[in-house]
Structures are given as structure tokens and as C-alpha cells.
Structure 1
Amino acid sequence: MTTSTALLLADLAGVAVFAASGASAAVAKRLDLFGVVFVGFVAALGGGIVRDLVIGEVPPLAFADWRYATTAAVTAGAIFWLHPQFARLRTTVLVLDAAGLGLFTVSGTLKALDAQVPPVGACLIGMITAIGGGLGRDLLTGEIPIVLRREIYAVAALAGSILVVLLYVLGHTGPLPLTAAVLLVFGVRLVALRRRWSAPVPTLHPPHPTTPTK
């Protein structure tokens, strides 16, 4: 198996995982078949579409390569019919979601750097590639996006993007350094889930009662 084939298969695996995540959220909201497939498509490919539009790659890969859209649609359709069995695999899905987060972070950052995007912009694009689909999924299903809540999700993606940029600047873009970046995102996400790490949130104090005037 060539490197390009391995990367394609890994990319499609990530698409399938995120499509399953989106479809599961849509099933929980009792959407119809079209709604489930559409939410799954957005969850799997939304971040990549935004990335390609930002760097000027038109049409986006999600539309230019039929394998991406087909993988997302077929996976989401399968979840529509098999969701009772799939619901038992929640832990497995969380692990695969963490792996997909790492993979999409690295691939998105590298693609931005190859398009001559400056380092700071490449970090942001890499993060958006990884979390954009989840944002679309949550908005379509009427939820506050997970990346805006307490869970360590976007922060893990941003850390991975920064590492990829540093490796790129230092000339270390081989398989081993990039695999280390994927593992960083994967590890941070899993440890955060296991230990229930969260970002700080503001503490809201109840208003002081006012003294009535006479």
C-alpha cells in the first residue's frame, strides 16, 4: 500500500467517524432520513469545505472527489437504520472521534501551509478543519456547539495545529513527526474525557437584592 493510499483511507475513515457522529445526533432529534444524511454530511465534511474555500481550492475536495461525499452519505444512512446497535458503541465512537480530530487537524494545517497561508492562519485553518463539522452538526440539531462549552475539544485541535506548524518551520514533515502531532491531539482529547477536564467558565453571582425606597 502506498503512502497516498494509506492517507486516503485514513481520511475516509475520519469522514465516516464524523458522519456517524452527526447522524447519531440527528437520530436523537428524530429527524427523517434526509435530515440524518444531511447532518451526517455536514458533520463529516463541513470543516474541510470551509478550509478549501478559505485557501481558494474550488471546488472543495468534498465535491470534487465522489468518494468523500459517498462515504459520508452511506455512513449516515447506515446509522439511520442501525442506530439501536450503534448506540451501544458510544465509547468506541468517542475514541474514533478523537482519532478523527487529530487526523483532520494535521491534514488541514498541512494543506493550509502548502497553500502558502502564514503560520498563524494555518493554525486557525487546521483547527477549523477539525471542529467545523461539529459546529455545523450542533447548530443544525439545535445544540450549543460542543467547542463553545467546557469540554477540551477545540483547544486540543489548536495545540495540534501549532505543533504541525512548528514541525513544518523546522523542516520535520515526515511520517513520524506528523504522526506525533496526531497522537498529541488524540491523547489530549482522550485524557480530557477520562479526567473530565474542562476549560474555565465564568462564575455568575446572583444580583444583590435592592433596598426598597420609601
Structure 2
Amino acid sequence: MPLALQKPRRLVPGDRIAVVSPSWGGPGTLPQRYAAGKRQLGETFGLQVVDMPHTLASAEDLAAHPEWRAADLHQAFADPSIAGIFASIGGDDSIRLLPHLDLDIIRRNPKVFLGFSDTTTIHLACLAAGLASFYGPSIMAGFAENGGMHAYTVDSLRKTSSRPIHPASSPSTLQAGPASAPIGLIPSPKPSPASSIRPPRPKSSKAPA
């Protein structure tokens, strides 16, 4: 039987993105690196980045309270003003969230979820809830690169594709099989007017008279 997953709508400029720390308290440990990732995500893609109540909690507190981390995920999924959820960083402890997760909250509120490494545990929870999620950079590892994000990362995020979504404001169902028209995970910049794109003038190979 083909795998059927809900596919959230693509992100558009101005969308609000919640950041969660399901694995490790990286933002509280290295706040400058976290701030750089938030800034570059916002500047590059035009998204509004917001913290959940425990995103910046200390690593010690988050390690002691997996239920706090689960509560942040629940709040982000349930909040209709949030269009996407990005992991702040990986780690090694997200598996302790599983007993605290309510898959019905994820199932009823399909939206973009992005992260990698230890965040795979949360991707599997999304899979169990019937939601397609996205394996990709975290705020502190990918978005916070020194000197700006790598061009291939920006390009890959914009080109992430699946079946077209209609209407644009609603989720769709993702069926197993080849992709059709691309729908970017993250918005692309507005194209320049055709009048502003001019081919370079050919250079003459003749020597001056």
C-alpha cells in the first residue's frame, strides 16, 4: 500500500518560524551562535523567527526536563500563527521526548518541520503522525555559518520539491512516487524585472586602428 503523508504548505516571506531545542540546550550555551543563525535565516528568507518558552533554557535544565522540550513542540504545532518549526541544534537526547509527545497534536496541525542528526527522532514521530517532514540544517548548524550561509544550502532549501499544493494555504497529501512540479520549502527572492537583465556586450577582437 502506498505511503500517504500530509505535506505542509510551503513557507512564504513573513511567515513565523518557531525554534525548538529537542536534543540539547545549544542556544542557552552558545547564544551568539544561535543569534547569528536566527539573523541569517530571517535576512536570507524573509521569515520571522520566534523562540518557544524553553528554547534558550540551559543545557542542564533541558536535560532534566524532556517534558519541557515536548511542550515546546506541542505549543509550536498547535499555534496557528506558526507556519514552520526548525530545530535549534542536534545532540543526543531527543529520544527521551517520545513518552511525552502527543502525535494527535502533530497530526491535526501539519506544518514544516526541519532539522537533522539527533532530530531524526522527531522526524520519526512526524512520520508516525502521518506528516512529511524535512531533513535539513538547524539554526546553529547550517543557518549560522560564519560569513553567511553556503550557497548550496540556500539553493537546496529553495528547490526542495514534491507534488504541487492547491490551494497554497492548505496542506496536501504526499503519495509515494516521483515528484512533479517543484514546491520550494523556503521562499525564493522575487525575480528581477526582465528589463533589468541585460546580456553583456560582445567584445571586439579587432585591434584599434
Say yes or no: TM over 0.5.
no
Bigger radius of gyration among the two:
2
Q: Which is strand-richer, 1 or 2?
A: 2
Normalising by structure 2, what TM-score? 0.31
**Relative contact order (alpha carbons < 8 A, sep ≥ 6): 1 or 2 greater?**
2
Q: Which is helix-richer, 1 or 2?
A: 1
